[in-house]
Amino acid sequence: MSSKTEVSKTIMQLVLVVVGMFGFGFAMVPLYDILCDVTGFNGKTAGKYTATEVQDVREDRLVTIQFLASNNANMPWEFRPKVRTMKVHPGKMNTTEFYVRNVASQAMVAQAVPSVTPFNAAEFLHKTECFCFEQQQLATGEDLDMPLRFIIDSQIPEEVTTLTLSYTLYDVTEQVGLAAN
């Protein structure tokens, strides 16, 4: 049997563990993001790419890239890629467009979120310009061709012959609010 001070010491240690683990639960949020950014797990693509050096164009290789566009639940907009697949040379800059039209009866703001499969290809897809870097606000009936410029890294593993870039469009009107005019 031990004294009161030893009991309170044990209690304090255990309370610290409780507080620490509560914090750890929240720390998992940035840790998870970092892990996904570093490894490309979960098909997460990096932000805007700025070329550090000019890549050799691999004229000998052709990689197929497929584009998918889908809407999150309750998102009424029309959203589709203008070209469904492209065959591209790694290292070369490519341009394509996605089409959106606001078919709702009021102005809305949308955010597209990208994902790439296979996961090990995610880090080799560089986007120099993408509509997913910003939000789109469209008045009712308004439409837009949204540009996407990308390079597939010349270092992309040989076994990757096809990759799929999928965008999901979310309604973020409530979160961000409509801009003036």
Partner 1 sequence: MSAVIEELHHDDHHHGPDKGIMRWVFTTNHKDIGTLYLWFSFLMFLTGGVLALGIRAELFQPGLQILQPEVFNQLTTMHGLIMVFGAVMPAFVGLANWLVPMMIGAPDMALPRMNNYSFWILPFAFGLLLSTFFMEGGAPNFGWTFYAPLSTDYAPPSVTFFIFAVHMMGISSIMGSINVVVTILNMRAPGMTLMKMPLFVWTWLITAYLLIAVMPVLAGVVTMMLMDIHFGTAFFNAGGGGDPVLFQHVFWFFGHPEVYIMILPAFGVVSAIIPTFARKRLFGYDSMVYATASIAFLSFIVWAHHMFTVGIPIAGELYFMYATMLIAVPTGVKVFNWVATMWQGAMTFETPMLFAIAFVILFTIGGFSGLMLAIVPADFQYHDTYFVVAHFHYVLVPGSIFSIMAAVYYWIPKWTGNMYDETLGKTHFWLSFIGVNVTFFPQHFVGLAGMPRRIPDYALQFADWNMVSSCGAFLFGFSQLLFLFIVIKCIRGGKKATDQVWEGAHGLEWTIPSPAPYHTFSTPPTDMKEAHG
Note the residues at the interface with partner 1 (CB under 8 A): 1-2, 6-7, 10-11, 14-15, 17-22, 24-26, 28-29, 32-33, 36, 39, 41-43, 72-73, 111, 113, 117, 119-120, 168, 170-172, 175
Of the pair 94, 168, the CB lying nearest partner 1 is at: 168
Least separation in angstroms between residue 155's CB and partner 1 is: 18
Of the pair 36, 57, the CB lying nearest partner 1 is at: 36
How far does Cα 150 stand from its chain's mean position?
14
Of the pair 54, 73, the CB lying nearest partner 1 is at: 73
Q: Is 172 helix (H, G, I), strand (E, B) or coil?
A: coil
Least separation in angstroms between residue 115's CB and partner 1 is: 9
Contacts with 148 (C-beta within 8 Å, 6 or more apart), sequence order: 95, 96, 97, 98, 127, 129, 130, 131
Least separation in angstroms between residue 27's CB and partner 1 is: 9
DSSP states along 86-149: EEE-TTSEEEEEEEEE--SSS-EEEEEEEEEESGGGGGGEEEEEEGGGS-EEE-TT-EEEEEEE
Least separation in angstroms between residue 172's CB and partner 1 is: 5
Of the pair 15, 103, the CB lying nearest partner 1 is at: 15
